[in-house]
């Protein structure tokens, strides 16, 4: 960019001349003097907003960056919202943070602002996983909470997840109400940064013990764990909070042969051993898989920095350690848990599971076979939490899951929980091993029973203001000129969650979609494939989800049919992206 827009320059000068710390002013001034116009534009062209995961972005100075001031303004807005919503009442919040650079600093800034606004703060004494924060909000009877994390994003990012009194992330209309309060704050001078120490209470071991105790109650097969307590497990927290909570819960439920990836047990916000601290990526699990091969382990598990997602690897029928994707793990968990509930005589038609609309519809089939309701929600685990709160006391929740490696077992929290997921996945592995089987064999059997479902996610990164405009143009294009065929199969239905309309492309009939509006499109083909497109709510990306399926007989070649389905996915995605 050769010239800076006047609106951007005006914002930059406000920060240079405003009530900001010297380091921040100097950084903005240097960017302006050095002609870093692209960086300045990206830093100031908009204000950070709540997405599916809250407030998240690159760290640095600017209105579109995560820093003391943008987080302070967000917290001031949230404080104003809470003081208005609970006028005349004693208000409390819980705050936790992960291992990211500046997470502890931002957590303290957040506590400063809440307490300065007369709100009591329960402040964790060190890093803790996101699900434990959700648990703490419920346990302590708080009206809200904040988790300082950018989940699985690269090291340059940080963020802020805002929670409501149920322990779930804020959903519409409450997130919008908070945003409106934040927008009323024109600059950082409107933020109360002076901490009231009398309102800040440090918490830690007491909540840890209650959280672990709650999770141990969820075990379904203590006998299998006892029989297979020597199951070889490799675990890595990828430098994050999972190292605090996962090893203790595995010990608590009875596993005695857990090997930790010591290099990745080191708490470090630079994530020195990985390119990207995301358990969805093969590279992030490389060290753990190498350790598994070294010691002959049966199961590999790795959690993301704030321990709400978990990736796993298991041995296939040839003894090779292979990664499972989020849909496969979710399917295994649903089948295992519903079978266990059925065997225990606990299914009476009042139970339910929850998944998102971009998560495998194999979960729907499994639930249907057991007489269990499967609710579908918008993307983002906050909607699963919302459904749980809506049905609390009316129906019995078993499990929630989404394709992006996030699962929740039990009602102790309202967010995805990799800690309890690790416990349940390990128990599941022990159960199948006790039956002379394995997780991989169980997966094949599952597909023989319900059909071989295969899914893939493709993300295309589009950064900055121009990137946001490109993503908007792509979504507009799909709406204005939707594809007629995908992968040589006719598109028979299109669901537009933004207009809340589902259209039958053969008859032209439309029906309403009973969900909040969201910028998501789904294309259903004649042969049963589903392709979804949506902009990410937390990253500068447009995401494409593809799901295909085919019946699988016992004598079919599993690997060959999987390969055929993978080729089919590639054709579908090429048609959509190139089209």
What was the pLDDT predicted at 210? 98
- How is residue 186 annotated by DSSP? -
CA angle, 328 then 541 then 493, to 5°:
65
| pLDDT of the residue at 465 | 79
pLDDT, position 228: 98
Which residues 6+ apart lie within 8 Å of 273 measured at CB?
A: 238, 239, 263, 264, 287
Determine the pLDDT at residue 185: 85
Per-residue pLDDT of the chain (579 residues; tens, 9 = 90+): 468 889 899 999 999 998 899 999 999 999 999 889 999 999 999 888 765 557 889 999 999 999 999 999 989 999 999 999 999 999 999 999 999 999 999 999 999 999 999 999 999 999 999 999 999 999 999 999 999 999 888 999 999 999 999 999 998 888 888 888 888 887 888 999 999 999 999 999 999 999 999 999 999 999 999 999 999 999 999 999 999 999 999 999 999 999 999 999 999 999 999 999 999 999 999 999 999 999 999 999 999 999 999 999 999 999 999 999 999 999 999 999 999 999 999 999 999 999 999 999 999 999 999 999 999 999 989 999 999 999 999 999 999 999 999 999 999 999 999 999 999 999 999 999 999 999 999 999 999 999 999 999 989 988 887 888 999 999 999 999 999 999 889 999 999 999 999 999 999 999 999 999 999 999 999 999 999 999 987 678 999 999 999 999 998 899 999 999 999 999 998 888 875
Query: Where would I find the H helices in 143-234?
Result: 174-183, 205-216, 222-227
Considering the segment(s) 452-578 as one domain, its CATH architecture is 2-Layer Sandwich (3.30)
* Structure confidence at residue 51 (pLDDT): 56
Judge if the upstream peptide bond of residue 173 is cis by omega within 30 degrees of 0.
yes
- pLDDT for residue 577: 84
Nearest-10 crossing angle of helices 418-434, 242-253: 40
Residues of the chain with CATH 3.40.120.10: 46-203, 211-450
- pLDDT of the residue at 180: 85
CA distance 579 to 575: 5
Q: Which CATH entry fits the domain spanning 211-450: 2.40.40.20, 3.10.180.10, 3.90.1150.10, 3.40.120.10?
A: 3.40.120.10
CATH code linked to domain 46-203 = 3.40.120.10
Query: Please, which residues have CB within 8 angstroms of residue 237's CB and are 6 or more apart in sequence?
Result: 243, 244, 246, 264, 265, 302, 303, 307
Compute the distance between CA of residue 483 and CA of residue 494 in angstroms, rounded to an integer: 10
- pTM of the entire predicted model: 0.94
Q: In the Cβ-directed half-sphere of 92, how many Cα atoms lie within 13 Å?
A: 19
Just list the catalytic residues: 151
Closest CA to 269 of 150, 109, 406, 352: 150
């Amino acid at each position: 960019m050769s010239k800076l827009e006047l609106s951007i320059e005006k914002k930059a000068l406000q920060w240079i001349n405003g009530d900001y710390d010297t380091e921040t002013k100097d950084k903005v001034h240097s960017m302006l003097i050095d002609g870093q116009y692209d960086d300045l534009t990206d830093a100031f062209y908009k204000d950070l907003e709540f997405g599916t995961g809250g407030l998240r972005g690159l760290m640095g100075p600017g209105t579109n960056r995560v820093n003391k001031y943008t987080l302070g303004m967000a917290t001031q807005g949230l404080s104003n919202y809470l003081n208005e919503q609970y006028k005349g009442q004693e208000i409390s919040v819980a705050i936790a943070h992960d291992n990211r650079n500046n997470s502890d600093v931002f957590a303290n800034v957040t506590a400063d602002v809440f307490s300065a606004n007369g709100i009591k703060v329960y402040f964790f004494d060190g890093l803790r996983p996101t699900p434990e924060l959700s648990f703490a909000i419920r346990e302590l009877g708080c009206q809200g909470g904040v988790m300082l994390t950018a989940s699985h994003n690269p090291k340059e990012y940080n963020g802020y997840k805002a929670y409501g009194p149920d322990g779930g992330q804020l959903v519409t209309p409450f997130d919008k109400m908070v945003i409106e309060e934040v927008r009323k704050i024109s600059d950082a001078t409107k933020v109360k940064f002076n901490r009231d120490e009398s309102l800040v209470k440090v918490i830690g071991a007491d909540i840890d013990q209650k959280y672990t105790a709650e999770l141990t109650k969820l075990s379904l097969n203590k006998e299998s764990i006892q029989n297979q307590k020597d199951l070889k497990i490799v675990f890595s927290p990828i430098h994050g909070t999972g190292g605090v909570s996962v090893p203790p819960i595995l010990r608590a439920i009875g596993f005695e042969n857990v090997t930790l990836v010591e290099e990745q047990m080191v708490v470090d916000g630079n994530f020195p051993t990985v390119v990207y601290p995301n358990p969805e990526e093969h590279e992030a699990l490389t060290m753990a898989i190498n350790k598994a091969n070294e010691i002959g382990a049966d199961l590999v598990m790795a959690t993301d920095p704030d321990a709400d997602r978990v990736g796993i690897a298991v041995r296939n029928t040839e003894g090779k350690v292979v990664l499972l994707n989020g849909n496969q793990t979710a399917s295994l968990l649903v089948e295992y848990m519903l079978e266990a509930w059925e065997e225990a005589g606990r299914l009476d038609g009042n139970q339910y599971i929850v998944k998102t609309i971009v998560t495998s519809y194999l979960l729907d089939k499994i639930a249907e076979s057991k007489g269990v309701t499967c609710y579908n929600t918008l993307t983002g685990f906050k909607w699963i939490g919302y459904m749980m709160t809506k049905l609390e006391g009316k129906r019995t929740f078993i499990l929630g899951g989404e394709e992006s490696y996030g699962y929740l077992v039990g009602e102790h929290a309202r967010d995805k929980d990799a800690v309890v997921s690790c416990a349940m996945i390990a128990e599941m592995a022990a159960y199948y091993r006790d039956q002379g089987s394995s997780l991989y064999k169980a997966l094949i059997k599952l597909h023989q029973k319900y059909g071989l479902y295969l899914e893939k996610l493709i993300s295309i990164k589009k950064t900055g203001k121009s990137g946001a405009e490109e993503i908007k143009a792509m979504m507009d294009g799909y709406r204005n000129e939707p594809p007629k065929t995908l992968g040589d199969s006719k598109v028979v239905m299109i669901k537009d969650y933004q207009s809340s309309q589902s259209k039958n492309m053969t008859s032209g009939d439309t029906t309403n979609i009973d969900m909040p509006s969201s910028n998501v499109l789904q294309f259903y083909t004649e042969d049963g494939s589903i392709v979804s497109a949506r902009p990410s709510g937390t990253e500068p990306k447009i995401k494409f989800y593809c799901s295909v399926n085919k019946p699988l007989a016992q004598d079919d070649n599993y690997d060959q049919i999987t390969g055929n389905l993978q080729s089919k996915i590639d054709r579908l995605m090429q048609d959509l992206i190139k089209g």
